[in-house]
Amino acid sequence: MTIEKALVVGTGLIGTSVALALRAKGVEVCLSDIDEHAVALAGEFGAGREWSGEEVDLAVIAVPPHLVGERLAELQKLEAARVYTDVASVKADPIADAERLGCDLTSYVPGHPLAGRERSGPAAARAELFAGRAWALCPGTETGADAVALVRELVSLCGAKAVTVGAAEHDAAVALVSHAPHVAASAVAASLNGGDDVALRLAGQGLRDVTRIAAGNPLLWQRILSGNALPVAEVLDRIAADLTAAASALRSGDPGGVTDLLRRGADGQARIS
Amino acid sequence: MTIEKALVVGTGLIGTSVALALRAKGVEVCLSDIDEHAVALAGEFGAGREWSGEEVDLAVIAVPPHLVGERLAELQKLEAARVYTDVASVKADPIADAERLGCDLTSYVPGHPLAGRERSGPAAARAELFAGRAWALCPGTETGADAVALVRELVSLCGAKAVTVGAAEHDAAVALVSHAPHVAASAVAASLNGGDDVALRLAGQGLRDVTRIAAGNPLLWQRILSGNALPVAEVLDRIAADLTAAASALRSGDPGGVTDLLRRGADGQARIS
């Protein structure tokens, strides 16, 4: 079983990028969105044509995390696809929603491509958005092997690398490598509001890199963070404690306290470089 | 008065990069360092020749902040140059040191190019390191106009943009735009030590950007931070307070508290983009 026809539900940045990647590989792509304008725009960019309700091989649900379960239930009721996946950046809550709404879990493979941009919407989409990136898959005990195989094909068609991981482990991991760093970047960027124009003229590339992701859509990110609240809060508390201790060490003239943090930081950075 | 012959004291990353930039503009460059190996290496890279003690137009003191005043006093005693500048990333302490050591302040223009790399030493130096970057100059009331003009010529030869600012204002500004962001990047990177390998496989470009500068030399950065301790501590406390409040808002299910920080972050980021 391969992907000949796919449905992308939600033609924002990620959904439209998936559609473009599939189109580039010759897959027929149908598009659906509650915003007709977004579907039309994605269609103009070559992402596919509006879905007329026909059954497809794979439905990719690319809506905000809190709407994934609801949309999955609707699509399964319509028998829209043989296999379903989503791209939400948190996994435990959408899976719990799907269970609560009585969805068929055998045909649903929860997924999360680790890719994004600061800009959102179909106009920001790019077929190569996922090239070389990790794409988490969180199949549960009920998930069918055929369904997993088909979604792995999706990941491969998008040029990404599948990483299989449990849902809770996924959420703790993205709290660490994505969500908490986003909040930290926002906090650094927010501190700049206290500076005058001369101060900001001294900004260099380092600051631009640290704060780049803080340009992301605040409402979208609030939803992502709220959907992964406790794991993110834990990491934020650890980062805040390190910063408070560093401030205290600087005030008391204790260079050792600062050096220790800088050394641990260099060690942590080396793990992803 | 123009720069025909310059002396670079300290052939690390910044000093050697200044030397290379000046050489590229046809300036004769002499090199000096307490580490003979570093001078020889910089010379091999085409940064200039070892200083034999002759008088130059401009001496660029590229040593760690806590050694600037001492080196300035030595060079002025030797009548090494007509004008002196330094490149230390903090300014109030080196200026205070120079005053305390009885240096001639009319010929000394405190400076700070806002450029760097994660790697240090002459092998990492590049002539174009300063191209398009800000270069802070902090002349005091005693500084001679001729001296300022000559150091502005240095900035221009390096392709950078001079930004004139008071020393205390400079230190508060770099605490905000450089030093505190460095510590924040270190704290985010340090948190990664708590993650397993699967978690780190989910790391994307955003995390890499946020933590890139945490790879910097811990001892070098400890000295920079210690030389600007109070301004940095103030910014760190503000960032930590924002992170603690965000963690608390997430735990109590108050999305507004998180959205506010994300919005302020997007505003702050927009000021430097």
Kindly report, residue by residue over A156-185, the tens digit of the pLDDT.
999 999 999 999 999 999 999 999 999 999
The predicted structure's pLDDT at residue A273? 80
Q: Is B220 on the interface with A (CB under 8 A)?
A: no
The predicted structure's pLDDT at residue B88? 95
Measure in Å the smallest separation between the Cα of A16 and chain B Cα atoms: 20
The predicted structure's pLDDT at residue A79? 98
Contact B240, A185 (CB under 8 A): no
Token output for A202: 């001294």
Instruction: Give the A window 137-166 contacts with B, CB below 8 Å.
Output: 163, 165
The predicted structure's pLDDT at residue A220? 87
The count of residues in chain A is 273
The predicted structure's pLDDT at residue B101? 98
Q: How do residues A93-136 score in pLDDT, each as one tens digit?
A: 999 999 999 999 999 999 999 988 777 889 999 999 999 999 99
What mean pLDDT, rounded, does chain A reach?
A: 96
DSSP state of A47: S
Q: Is A191 on the interface with B (CB under 8 A)?
A: yes
The predicted structure's pLDDT at residue B171? 97
Question: What is the SS3 assignment for B190?
Answer: helix
pLDDT in 10s for each residue of chain B, 273 residues: 699 999 999 999 999 999 999 999 999 999 999 999 999 999 999 999 999 999 999 999 999 999 999 999 999 999 999 999 999 999 999 999 999 999 999 999 999 999 887 778 899 999 999 999 999 999 999 999 999 999 999 999 999 999 999 999 999 999 999 999 999 999 999 999 999 999 999 998 899 999 999 999 999 899 899 999 999 999 999 999 999 999 999 999 998 889 999 999 999 999 998
Find residue A49's DSSP bridge partners: A30
Alpha-carbon span B55 to B81, nearest angstrom: 5
Positive/negative CA dihedral, B178, B180, B185, B186: positive
**Among candidate residues B78, B62, B163, the one with its CA nearest the CA of residue B116:** B62
Nearest residue in B to A260, CA atom: B218
Question: What is the SS3 assignment for A55?
Answer: coil
Q: Which of A239, A252, A254 to mutate to test the interface with B (most CBs of B within 10 A)?
A: A239
CA-CA-CA-CA dihedral for A256, A261, A264, A266, to nearest 10: -100
Q: Amino acid identity, residue A215?
A: A
Walk me through the domains of chain B, giving residue ranges and CATH numbers.
5-165 (3.40.50.720), 170-270 (1.10.3660.10)
The predicted structure's pLDDT at residue B1? 64
Give residues with Cβ within 8 angstroms of A152, minimum separation 6: A137, A162
Contact A215 B173 (CB under 8 A): no
Helices (H), A130-254: 145-157, 167-174, 180-191, 197-201, 205-211, 218-226, 229-251
Q: How do residues A40-78 score in pLDDT, each as one tens digit?
A: 999 999 999 999 999 999 999 999 999 999 999 999 999
In chain B, what residues touch A218 (CB-CB under 8 Å)? 259, 262-263, 265-266
Q: Is B2 on the interface with A (CB under 8 A)?
A: no
The predicted structure's pLDDT at residue A13? 95
DSSP state of A118: S
The predicted structure's pLDDT at residue A1? 65
Task: Indicate the angle between helix axes B229-251 and B255-270, nearest 10 degrees.
Answer: 140
Query: Residue range A75-91: average pLDDT?
Result: 97
Alpha-carbon span A151 to A169, nearest angstrom: 20
Interface predicted TM-score (ipTM) of this complex, two decimals = 0.85
The predicted structure's pLDDT at residue B118? 72
The predicted structure's pLDDT at residue B180? 98
Alpha-carbon span A139 to A127, nearest angstrom: 25
Alpha-carbon span B140 to B104, nearest angstrom: 12
CA distance readout (Å), B81 to B6, B49, B56, B102, B218: 8, 16, 5, 17, 33
Q: Residue A230: pLDDT band by 50, 70, 90 thresholds?
A: very high
Contact B222 A255 (CB under 8 A): yes
